Structure 1
Amino acid sequence: MIQRTTSRSGGRAARRAARAAPLATHLRPIRPGLSGGTYAPLTATDMDNIHGAALQALEEIGLADAPASGVAYLTGAGATQGADGRIRFPRALVEDTIARANRSITLCGRDPEHDLDLSGTRVHYGTAGAAVHLVEVDGRSYRECGVQDLHDAARIADTLQNIHFVQRPMVCRDITDNLEMDVNSIYACCAGTTKHIGTSFSDPAFVKHGVELLHMIAGGEDAWRARPFVSNTNCFVVPPMKFATESCEVMEACIKAGMPVLLLSAGMAGATAPSTVAGAIVQAVAECLAGLVYVNAVRPGHPAVFGTWPFGLDLRTGAMTGGSGEQALLTAGCAQMHKYYDLPGGAAAGIADSKLPDMQAGWEQMCSNVMAGLAGLNMVYEAAGMHASLLGFCHESLILGDDLIGQALRCVRGIEVNDETLAVDQIREVCLGGPGHYLGTEQTLGRMQQDHVYPTFGDRTSPKEWDELGKPDLVEKATARKHEILAQRAAARFDETLDAAIRARFAIHLPA
């Protein structure tokens, strides 16, 4: 007997096949660089007042402990050094620097597919931090992390759609030599992902070695300078209002090497920054404006990310509160100030004070990630994987964070209102002689992938289905996915010839 297939069922099968196929990037419901900016905790007057207070602090208080080279650059640009050694910044100098600073920054990936456009309120989420422990979810324990753990984090992040960049989230505690640790941090990340990478240097003399490795990976100095795929995370200040002398020298060396710089000011509200949200933002803005003058004095127009990273503090105990509502407000307020200056900026969000990927971690990570994205923060650092107020990093949490950030990005995308989405024609068709529901309509099926974000690990089954499936556990599913990713060869690995050359030149600790 011949089985006939109606044209209608054939069309439905075709539509199902089309829905199963990956969407083009521009049609996906979420993607890197969605524009935020709809959330504004600060009024226009608030921002004017914060700006004025920051300028006053720079002009009257200034910053101490600039290195000799920094004093020369800054005074040459128009800053003054007082008898107390502090560098003070005239308002006109700061405002002129803001006016001519580089606003057209693209942070390159080793693969151009992962380039990050930092213009406007485009939002990107990624890792960061310097955790000293790895969270072992199976034993609910912490252990010191090493270079293999860092490499594995980069490999995992490389596979996650909603992790857009990889700033080094862990310290290689198994490498005691600081130069080798810096070089191996670069190697471990670059061998794990082709997304943009952030790293730091512990000594100014180590920059040339790291840059030499980057030239080898890029295929030469010219190729590196054309597309620098690693930026320098630089804690150039020691709050309150002091330059970090060696870090400033590192920054100068990175600028000369063509490496983009993240100007990172990380005061602790109530300890190394004022306890009020507004005051902590004022100090962070003032310090980063000083850094912006510094960068442009070394090389006008050099790409610098305005990295206001004030952190919250539990004033009862002195413990950091990265997962608090105050932290979310600090980050959102900083994002607004970046846009006030129309400067590419970054800040911290997504940190959990919780020690494990549990319910507490979920609410802490989602709160600040959503608020940062809605505020239009260009670079949301520490957005996934960070626990214990930055002391621990968790591979499973990184994987689950991809789902969480997916939902945050859907909030960033917002609500589109146009003739199609208002859906009056749909309502008419369904209600006047139609089926009385929207299930299966062409409009519903046609937009189900473009409008809706579906979690990879989040469980939306009924209790009955969940029971029939063996009551799957969220963290166990993430662990299984981790093993699946790490069982595959890393797509970012170097070819054998390049890897052999790198290993001949540097003491690489990762197995070949």
Structure 2
Amino acid sequence: MNAPSPRRSGGRAARRASRAAPLTQDIRPIRPGMEGGQYKPLTERDMQRIHETALDALEQIGLADAPQSGIDIMTAAGAILGEDGRLRFPRALVEDMLAKACKDISLRGRDPQYDLQLSGNRVHFGTAGAAVHMVDIDGKEYRDSTLQDLHDAARIAEQLENIHFLQRPMVARDVTDNRELDYNTIYACCAGTKKHIGVNFTEPDYVADGLELLHMIAGGEDAWRARPFVSNTNCFVVPPMKFATESCEVMEACIRGGMPVLLLSAGMAGATAPSTVAGAIVQATAECLAGIVYVNALAPGHPAIFGTWPFGLDLRSGAMTVGSGEQALLSAGCAQMHKFYGLPGGAAAGASDSKLPDMQAGWEQMCSNVMAGLSGLNMVYEAAGMHASLLGFCHESLILGDDLIGQALRCVRGIEVDEETLALEQIREVCLGGPGHYLGTDATLSRMQKDHVYPTFGDRTSPKEWSEVGKPDLIETARKRKEEILATTASARFDPELDQAIRARFNIHLPQ
């Protein structure tokens, strides 16, 4: 009698446990900083023409309303102040400052595992925006966003693998003093996540408080300057072609404080920017080039993200169209211009005009996220959770967006072609005396984690299985996951002694 064949060590339960365990970095199918760049809506000639037109705009039209400090900084570098009060930028000046600009930026997290390397076509997805409402999925209503909502968004983002950074996605409307709003925003975000954070400041005088708080969190000014884990989101221009005076002064203070900056130009095509996709990209490029001159005249090589953020507009109604195909093209074209200059850049994608996380939101969010990722956009802002043309934020949508971005990143990864993936020997083994299928083969099992992205919430069951488990609803599933996350202690929570010191110095509105 033949001896029984030995059973596979561990059996099915062990294999299931292995698949359920967190993947190590070397076998994860997707990860932060994957290389995009496959999609190129602009030709080399197109990019050259956009560049030349942007230089013409800077040289002939220039920008108005720079603060006196900015005028002094930029004219000392070679900008020309006209009698009309506009600063104009000779081509040679722009080229000189581009040569000095930082081409490889490291955005730090409080935990080094969350550090982001911005260069080339490396792609990162995260939140952003200034929503003033929260989406209540139960009542299908909108309410004012609060500081607690912001803190909860940070805590949720901390747990989502495909949300690589947290730029403040909403305004805490329950904090009415702007100075307190600025430092409470920093506190709420930092107490929720150790990923890189982006914030803004209402007025230049408020930057000092923010830096003092960041020094306390970091463990001193030297520690902060060595690893600045918060950057300044700075709307330094008011399109078309005007500097935002106070924001420029904020930017100067942040640069002196060692904080990376996002140079954000957010024109609306057809309103504050030309209605054509190419024209909107030209203006955003020109405005951000002016920002590059400004930053590098003040502090050569300071980390500054080229933040071309033109938005679409429905010319029938004047409504924003952040979920449109035109928006996707705007962001992808901007990503190409970032590569044209060799500068780390960011743009908006993944936001929706829909009021709820429904089918419209799904197609809008996926369209622009995939195109932004494929174009190699370094920082994809507003990639999850944003609704109602940037007016509303939804925690459940943030959670579902993690799944959506996972699929987008799989598209970014693309198709590897080598001897192993071409699989000739596997085909031979299966077809010549083998089982005639690839289910359960060593090759299939060995690559099932490396090659495939499995959604956390996306439902792939059959209708029968779906019915047997109670016909789960996607939004309800996300709501339950939100409650699970918020029921646990935040891993980014401050040490009690530090928290007490912060609260003794600042009027923190979040409860202990």
Alignment TM-score > 0.5, same fold: yes
- 1:456 & 1:252 partners in 2: Cα distance? 43
* Aligned twin of 2:9: 10
Are 2:150 and 2:188, in contact at CA under 8 Å, matched by a contact in 1? Answer: yes
- 2:19 & 2:173 partners in 1: Cα distance? 46
Deviations 1:122-141 (A, max 9, x none): 00000000000000001100
The offset of 1:195, in angstroms, is 0.1
SS in 2 for 1:126: strand
* Aligned twin of 2:86: 86
SS in 1 for 2:454: coil
Residue type at the aligned position of 1:97: M
Residue type at the aligned position of 1:88: R
Q: Describe how 1:333-372 pairs up with structure 2 within 5 A.
A: 333-372=333-372
Size of the alignment, in residue pairs? Answer: 509
Residue type at the aligned position of 2:137: V
Instruction: Return 5+ residue gaps in structure 2 as ranges.
Output: none
* Aligned twin of 1:121: 121
* Aligned twin of 1:316: 316
* Aligned twin of 1:55: 55
Are 2:97 and 2:297, in contact at CA under 8 Å, matched by a contact in 1? Answer: no
Residue type at the aligned position of 2:223: A
Q: Describe how 1:235-384 pairs up with structure 2 within 5 A.
A: 235-384=235-384
Q: Describe how 1:418-497 pairs up with structure 2 within 5 A.
A: 418-497=418-497
Deviations 1:117-167 (A, max 9, x none): 001100000000000000000110000011000000000000000000000
Residue type at the aligned position of 1:9: R
- 1:406 & 1:347 partners in 2: Cα distance? 19
- 2:19 & 2:483 partners in 1: Cα distance? 28
The offset of 1:17, in angstroms, is 4.6
Residue type at the aligned position of 1:24: T
The offset of 1:185, in angstroms, is 0.3
SS in 1 for 2:8: helix
* Aligned twin of 1:96: 96
Q: Describe how 1:96-175 pairs up with structure 2 within 5 A.
A: 96-175=96-175
- 2:88 & 2:6 partners in 1: Cα distance? 77
Deviations 1:35-85 (A, max 9, x none): 000000000000000000000000000000000000000001110000001
- 1:335 & 1:247 partners in 2: Cα distance? 24
SS in 2 for 1:125: strand
Q: What's the RMSD between the two structures over aligned residues?
A: 1.0
- 2:32 & 2:4 partners in 1: Cα distance? 41
* Aligned twin of 1:414: 414
The offset of 1:99, in angstroms, is 1.7
Matched, 1:392 2:392: yes
- 2:300 & 2:111 partners in 1: Cα distance? 27
Deviations 1:301-320 (A, max 9, x none): 10000000000000000000
- 1:351 & 1:358 partners in 2: Cα distance? 13
Structure 1 stretches of 4+ with a deviation exceeding 6 A read none
The offset of 1:12, in angstroms, is 4.9
SS in 2 for 1:27: coil
Deviations 1:369-424 (A, max 9, x none): 00000000000000000000000000000000000000000000000000000000
SS in 1 for 2:231: strand
* Aligned twin of 1:404: 404
Instruction: Return 5+ residue gaps in structure 1 as ranges.
Output: none
Residue type at the aligned position of 1:145: S
Residue type at the aligned position of 1:469: V
The offset of 1:16, in angstroms, is 4.8
The offset of 1:20, in angstroms, is 3.5
SS in 2 for 1:26: coil
SS in 2 for 1:183: helix
The offset of 1:11, in angstroms, is 6.3
Name the TM-score, length of structure 1 as normaliser: 0.98
- 1:17 & 1:394 partners in 2: Cα distance? 32
- 1:260 & 1:125 partners in 2: Cα distance? 18
SS in 2 for 1:404: helix
